[in-house]
């Protein structure tokens, strides 16, 4: 029978940006802002308190995504607490392409593991990543949420995989977040079933170049972030985002749609941050978000 940790357990998990232009469903980057989850085993039932982003919209029962992830984690360890309380302190914007759902899933799994005595022996980081990718349906956000930094992830038909690679310390980001959300399902629904071979080949080259640019050759980021597979197709759902991407790129700034959008992410250096923040469209918010080398962690 499992032994549970006494008292509250606190986990933080970073925001993430996936795709990064050409790396569709494969490349992801952890960003320097974190959701915080606090849970404690109780004598029965569940109690969910949500504060911050999404507080007015998310459920407070077993259907809450963090709760679902925690249940999955407990089952994987062969343990189930009699009950627990959960407090979610959300700072990652919801439905903005910054990995809020992946943060909830990874955070919930790491939280469940931390609540079980010896949980690290029952469920290692790679096992959590695989569970998270299966629940999310794609690994591009859950990989950096779990491992931090810059990750290359995918699925080979039998297993999920992820490789973490270093990021050049000169690289940082600015996120431009609009007020209106775009659901990932809507954004994916705009993608065609097939694309021209030439465009697929161009994206493959850009994605490979992007790995080199982010790790050691940031002077190639503008070329490396050019996308042919998804951003233009999604323009009807986020026209203002594509306008901003094109304006920034025309000015020499490597800018992409973050994940499924509508947030726009600029990859830049620290000296350029103040000028970029001033380019924030009216009504949007702009934040300097350094690359976070750490994934989900127990605090």
Lookup: tokens for 103: 């943060």
CA angle, residues 37, 39, 43, in degrees to nearest 5 = 160
Confirm whether residue 100 is marked as ligand binding: yes
Confirm whether residue 94 is marked as ligand binding: yes
Give residue 87's pLDDT band: very low, low, confident or very high (50, 70, 90): very high
Mean pLDDT across the stretch 272-296? 97
- Does the structure show a pLDDT above 90 at 158? no
Confirm whether residue 7 is marked as ligand binding: no
> What pLDDT does 232 receive?
93
Give the DSSP H or E segment for 202: helix 197-215
Q: Give the integer Cα–Cα distance in Å for 162 and 247.
A: 33
Confirm whether residue 103 is marked as ligand binding: yes
> What pLDDT does 62 receive?
95
Residue pair 120/135 in contact (Cβ under 8 Å)? The answer is no
- Does the structure show a pLDDT above 80 at 15? yes
Look up residue 64 and give its DSSP letter: S
pTM for the model stands at: 0.95
> What pLDDT does 188 receive?
85
Partners of 164 in beta bridges: 151
Give residue 185's pLDDT band: very low, low, confident or very high (50, 70, 90): confident
Residue pair 85/94 in contact (Cβ under 8 Å)? The answer is no
Confirm whether residue 95 is marked as ligand binding: yes
> What pLDDT does 254 receive?
98
Mean pLDDT across the stretch 228-249? 95
User: What is the set of domains in the chain, with CATH numbers?
Assistant: 9-165+294-298 (3.30.230.10), 172-289 (3.30.70.890)
Confirm whether residue 70 is marked as ligand binding: no
- Does the structure show a pLDDT above 90 at 184? no
> What pLDDT does 1 receive?
63
Give residue 186's pLDDT band: very low, low, confident or very high (50, 70, 90): confident
CA–CA distances in Å: residue 87 to residues 57, 107, 157, 276 = 15, 12, 36, 35
Look up residue 83 and give its DSSP letter: E
- Does the structure show a pLDDT above 80 at 2? no
> What pLDDT does 157 receive?
83
Q: Give the integer Cα–Cα distance in Å for 97 and 296.
A: 18
Mean pLDDT of the chain: 96
Q: Give the integer Cα–Cα distance in Å for 50 and 58.
A: 8
Confirm whether residue 99 is marked as ligand binding: yes
Q: Give the integer Cα–Cα distance in Å for 232 and 5.
A: 49
Q: What is the pLDDT of residues 96-154, one digit of tens each?
A: 999 999 999 999 999 999 999 999 999 999 999 999 999 999 999 999 999 999 999 99
């Amino acid at each position: 029978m499992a032994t549970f940790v006494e008292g509250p357990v606190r986990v933080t998990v970073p925001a993430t940006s996936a795709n990064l232009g050409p790396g569709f469903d494969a490349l992801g980057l952890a960003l320097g802002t974190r959701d915080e989850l606090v849970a404690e085993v109780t004598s029965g039932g569940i109690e969910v308190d949500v504060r911050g982003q999404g507080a007015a919209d998310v459920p407070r029962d077993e259907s809450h995504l963090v709760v679902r992830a925690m249940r999955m984690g407990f089952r994987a360890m062969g343990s189930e607490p009699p009950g627990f309380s959960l407090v979610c302190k959300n700072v990652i914007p919801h439905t903005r392409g910054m990995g809020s759902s992946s943060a909830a899933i990874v955070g919930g799994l790491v939280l469940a593991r931390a609540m079980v005595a010896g949980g690290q022996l029952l469920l290692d980081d790679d096992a959590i990543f695989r569970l998270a990718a299966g629940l999310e349906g794609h690994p591009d956000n859950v990989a950096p949420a779990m491992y931090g930094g810059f990750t290359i992830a995918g699925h080979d038909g039998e297993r999920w995989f992820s490789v973490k690679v270093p990021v050049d310390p000169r690289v940082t980001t600015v996120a431009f977040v609009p007020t209106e959300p775009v659901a990932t399902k809507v954004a994916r629904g705009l993608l065609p079933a097939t694309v021209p071979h030439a465009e697929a080949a161009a994206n493959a080259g850009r994605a490979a170049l992007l790995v080199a640019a982010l790790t050691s050759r940031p002077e190639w980021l503008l070329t490396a972030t050019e996308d042919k597979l998804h951003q233009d197709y999604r323009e009807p759902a986020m026209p203002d985002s594509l306008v901003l991407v094109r304006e920034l790129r025309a000015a020499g700034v490597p800018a992409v749609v973050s994940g499924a959008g509508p947030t726009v992410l600029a990859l830049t250096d620290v000296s350029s941050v103040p000028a970029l923040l001033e380019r924030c469209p009216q009504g949007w918010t702009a934040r300097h978000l350094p690359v976070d080398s750490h994934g989900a962690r127990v605090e």
